[in-house]
Chain A
Amino acid sequence: MLVESLVVSGMIFVIGTLGVIVRRNAIVMFLCIELQLNAVNLTFVALSRYVGIEGQVFVFFVMTVAAAEAAVGLAIIISIFRHYETVDVDKFNLLKW
C-alpha cells in the first residue's frame, strides 16, 4: 500500500513540476503548484502510518498555507490581468535586474 501511495504521489508531483515549467498560463501554473503541494500531502499521510501522527498534523499546516497562498496568488493574477489583459507569464518579465 505504501509503495503505491508513494508512486502515485511521485507521479502527481512530477506532473505538477512539469506543468509549472512548460505551461505559460498563470492560472494553470498555479493549479500545478497546488498539485505539487497535494502530492507532498499525500506522501505525508502515507508515511504517517509508519512514522507517527506528526505527518498528518503537518498536512493541515500545508493546507492552511496553501489556502492563504492561493488567496494572495489569485489576487496578484487578477491584478496583473486587469493591467495587461492577459495571464500569459511570458509577457511578465520586468522582475529582473
Chain B
Amino acid sequence: MQADGLEPAAAEWEPILPALIILLPLLGFAINGALALSAARKSADAVRAGGEFDFFEGGRARTHALPTWVGPGVMLLAFLLTLVNFISMLGAELHDPWVHAYWAWISTGELEIAAAIQLDQLSMIMMMIITGVGFLIHVFSVGYMQDDPGYPRYFAYLNLFVFFMLVLVMGASYPIMFIGWEGVGLCSYLLIGFWFSDEAKASAGKKAFIVNRIGDLGFLLAIFLIYLVFQEVDYVAVLSDAESIFVYGGPAITTVTLLFLLAATGKSAQIPLYVWLPDAMAGPTPVSALIHAATMVTAGVYLVARSSVLFALAPLSSAMVAGIGVLTALFAATIALKQQDIKKVLAYSTVSQLGFMFLGVGVGAYTAGVFHLMTHAFFKGLLFLGAGAVIHSMHHALHHTHKDWDAQDMRNMGGLKKYMPITWVTMWLATLAIAGIWPFAGFFSKDEIIWMTGAMAGAENAPYPMLYTVYWILALAAAMLTAFYMARLMFMTFHGPNRTGAAEAEHLHEAPRTMWIPLAVLATLSVFGGWINVSEDLRESVLGGFGLLPMGEWLHHWLEPVTEAAHRVQESRLGEVAHSAPFGGGEVAWGIISFVAALAVVLATVRLLGRSEVPVAVEDTEPTGFARILYNKWYVDEFYHRWVVDPVLTTSRILWRVVDATIIDGTVKLVGNGARAIGWVASLFQTGQVNRYAFLMTLGVLVILSMIAF
C-alpha cells in the first residue's frame, strides 16, 4: 500500500525480513506435516494388511529427531528475528506503522485488498508474546508429548497455529486478520480434538468450532459494514478516517463495534460464548497453555485494542465491552471456586482473566488491557505448563500401578511439593502473580484495570457513571475470588498429605529438563514482567520502591502511537479521566487496597484449607447447596442445551421431516410420478401392432388436415 500512496511512507524504520517471521512456522508445519502424513500412510497400509504399525519404529531417536528440532527450532528462529526487529524498533521512534504490500490478494471492482503486513508497536508486542511464549511451550511439548504416537502431527498443528496467529496480528487489514482469526480457530479445533479417537474430545473440538462460528459471523458483518462506510478495509485508512466519518456514538459506529464485540466474545470466550473454552481443555496441556491461555483467546482483546478509535467513538459499545468483561470475570471466577479438575480451574480462571482484559479495553484503558494480556500470557502459560507437569507426573505414577484414577482431579493429588519442587515453586510464583500480589506481574496489570474502571466512574462526563461504579465493585470482587481459587488450587495440589497412595507416590517425579526450563523462564517473567508499566504515581510511592523500579510507564509510551487517537477522542468527550478515581485517591491507594485484599484472601484460604478441604478423600466431597450450583457451572451448559441446542435440533428435525422430506421432496416426487403416470397411460397406445399404428397415424393426419381445412 506504500506504493499506492495511501499513507506516508515510514522511511525512518525498516524491519529485517518481516515476512520470514510468518513463513518460518509455516515451514515447520510443512516439514512436520509431511512426516505426520507419511507415518499415517504407513500406519494405514499396515492396518489394511491386517497388522499394526509401530509409530516408534526404529526408536524415538529416529522418529522424534526431526520434529524435535524443527518444531521448536523454527519458533526459536522466529523469536530471534522478532527480537532483532523489536530492538531495532525500540531505537527508531516509529510513529506511523510500517506497512508493506506483497501482492494484490483480492481485486474486484472497487475492492482492493493487498496481502500486506503491518508492523507497529502493538503488533510487535503481540509477536514477541506469540513467538517467545510459543517457543517455550514448544520446548515444553518436547518432554510432554514424548510418548505420543502423534508426535510429528502435534508439532505440525502447533507450528500451523503459530503461523495463523502471526498472520492475525501482523496483517494490515481486517480481512487479513480474519484469515488468521479463522486459521487459529481451525488449529484450535484440530488440537482440542488431537486425541480424536476419544469421542468426548472430538466433540469438544466441534463445540469450540461451532461456538466460534457465531462470533465469526459478527466479524464478517463488521468487515462488510466497514467496507460499506469507508470503501476501505485496511487499518491505516479506516482508523485514521474514523474520527471524521463516524458520528460520536452514532448508530453506524455502534453497530460496527458491537459486531466486533460479538466476534471477540466468541474467540476470547466471553459471556455468552465462553462455554467452549472449558471444554477445550480436552486437548494436550501445552496446547491449553499456548492457544487457550496465552495467545489465541487474546485475539479478541487485540481486536478491540487495534480498533481502539472505533470503540472510543462508541461509548455504548465500550460500556458493553466492559460490562461483558466484568460479568465474565466474576461469573467464571465463581465457577472456578468449586471445580475439582486442575485444568478446569485454570480454564475458568482464563475466562475470568480475559474478562479483566475486556474490562480494561472497555473502560478505555487499552494499554492496560494489552498489559494484562501480556502478563497473563506469562503467568497463565506458566500455570498451564505447571499443571501439565503435574498431570504428566500423575499420569506416569498412576500408569505404573494401573490405577484408573483421574490424573487431573485435584482430589487425587496433594502433597506434590515434595516430589516436584521446581514445579511447586514456579507455580506459586505464577499464583501470586495472577492473584495480584505485589510486586508480581499481575499486580501491576490488574490493578491498573481496576483503577481505570474506578476512574471512569468518576470521570467528568462519563456516559454511565453508576454503571462504571458497579463494574468497579464487581471487578474488585472478581479479583478477590481469583486469589481464592488459585490458592485453593495450589493447596489441593501441592500441600497437605499425599492422596495418590503410597505405591503411586514412589513414581511421582519432577518434570524433565525440557519441561522445567520453560517453567523457570516463565516464572522469571511472571515475577518481573509487570515492571515495564508501573504508573508514575505508584513508582514514586513505597510500592514502586520510591522510584527504584527501572521502567516506569514504558508500555504506555510504547503503545502511544497506536492508542493516541482513541485517547484523544476520550479526552475531548470525557475529560481527563486519569486522575478522577473514586474517594479522591490516586493509584497508590488502589494499589494498596488490592494488594491487601489479595493477601487477605490468600491467608484466609490457607486457614480454611488447612482445616477442612485438603484432607478429604474423593468419595465424600459431593458438594451441596450453592457449592453444587457452582460445581455444575451454574448449569449454563444445561441451559444452552435446553434452550439453544435442543430448539435448534428440533427445528432442524422439523425442517427435515416436514419441510424437506414431506413438502419439497413430495413436490418433486409428485412431478416425477405424474410424468410416469402420463407415460404409463400413453404406453397403452403402443401395442407393437403395425396396423394400429397405421390407423392412428392416418387418424392423426386426418385431424391435422381437417384443422388446416376448417
Listed in ascending order, the chain A residues whose CB lies under 8 Å from chain B are: 17, 20-24, 29, 89-90, 92-97
Query: Judging by beta carbons under 8 Å apart, are A21 and B698 in contact?
Result: yes
Query: Judging by beta carbons under 8 Å apart, are A24 and B691 in contact?
Result: yes
Q: Which of B178-186, B372-380, B404-412, B682-690 contacts A (4 or more CB under 8 A)?
A: B682-690
A92 vs B687: C-alpha distance when bound (angstroms): 10
Query: Judging by beta carbons under 8 Å apart, are B688 and A22 in contact?
Result: no
Closest to B701 in A: A17
CB-CB under 8 A from A23, the residues of chain B are 691
Whether B695 is near chain A, meaning CB under 8 Å from some CB there, is yes
Q: A20-B694, A21-B695 are in contact. Are A90 and B683 (CB under 8 A)?
A: no
Query: Judging by beta carbons under 8 Å apart, are B689 and A97 in contact?
Result: no
Shortest CB distance A70–B (Å): 17
Q: Contact check: which of A17, A29, A92 meets B688 at CB < 8 Å?
A: A92
CB-CB under 8 A from B694, the residues of chain A are 17, 20-21
Query: Judging by beta carbons under 8 Å apart, are B698 and A93 in contact?
Result: no
Q: Which 8 A-B pairs have the closest CB atoms?
A: A93-B688, A96-B688, A20-B694, A96-B686, A21-B695, A97-B683, A89-B690, A95-B688
Q: Contact check: which of B686, B687, B690, B695 meets A29 at CB < 8 Å?
A: B690
CB-CB under 8 A from B686, the residues of chain A are 96-97
Query: Judging by beta carbons under 8 Å apart, are A22 and B683 in contact?
Result: no
Closest to B684 in A: A97
Listed in ascending order, the chain B residues whose CB lies under 8 Å from chain A are: 683, 686-691, 694-695, 698
Shortest CB distance B698–A (Å): 6
A21 vs B687: C-alpha distance when bound (angstroms): 14
Shortest CB distance A74–B (Å): 15
CB-CB under 8 A from A96, the residues of chain B are 683, 686-688
A96 vs B684: C-alpha distance when bound (angstroms): 10
Query: Judging by beta carbons under 8 Å apart, are B688 and A94 in contact?
Result: yes
A92 vs B691: C-alpha distance when bound (angstroms): 11
CB-CB under 8 A from B687, the residues of chain A are 93, 96
Query: Judging by beta carbons under 8 Å apart, are B689 and A89 in contact?
Result: yes
Shortest CB distance A17–B (Å): 6
A7 vs B695: C-alpha distance when bound (angstroms): 22
Query: Judging by beta carbons under 8 Å apart, are A89 and B691 in contact?
Result: yes
A20 vs B698: C-alpha distance when bound (angstroms): 10
Can you give 13 contacting A-B residue pairs, CB < 8 Å? A21-B691, A21-B694, A22-B691, A24-B691, A29-B691, A89-B689, A92-B688, A92-B690, A93-B689, A94-B688, A96-B686, A96-B687, A97-B686
A9 vs B255: C-alpha distance when bound (angstroms): 89
CB-CB under 8 A from A92, the residues of chain B are 688, 690
A22 vs B691: C-alpha distance when bound (angstroms): 7
Closest to A33 in B: B694
CB-CB under 8 A from B688, the residues of chain A are 92-96
Shortest CB distance A14–B (Å): 10
Query: Judging by beta carbons under 8 Å apart, are B690 and A17 in contact?
Result: no
Shortest CB distance B685–A (Å): 10
Shortest CB distance B549–A (Å): 96
CB-CB under 8 A from A93, the residues of chain B are 687-689
Closest to B685 in A: A96
Shortest CB distance B288–A (Å): 68
Shortest CB distance B687–A (Å): 6
Query: Judging by beta carbons under 8 Å apart, are B689 and A17 in contact?
Result: no
Shortest CB distance B675–A (Å): 14
Shortest CB distance A53–B (Å): 27
Query: Judging by beta carbons under 8 Å apart, are A17 and B691 in contact?
Result: no
Further contacts, 19 of them, CB under 8 A, given A17-B698, A24-B691: A17-B694, A20-B691, A21-B691, A21-B698, A22-B691, A23-B691, A29-B690, A29-B691, A89-B689, A89-B690, A89-B691, A90-B691, A92-B688, A93-B687, A93-B688, A93-B689, A94-B688, A96-B683, A96-B688
A95 vs B683: C-alpha distance when bound (angstroms): 12
A71 vs B280: C-alpha distance when bound (angstroms): 85
Shortest CB distance B690–A (Å): 5
A1 vs B687: C-alpha distance when bound (angstroms): 43
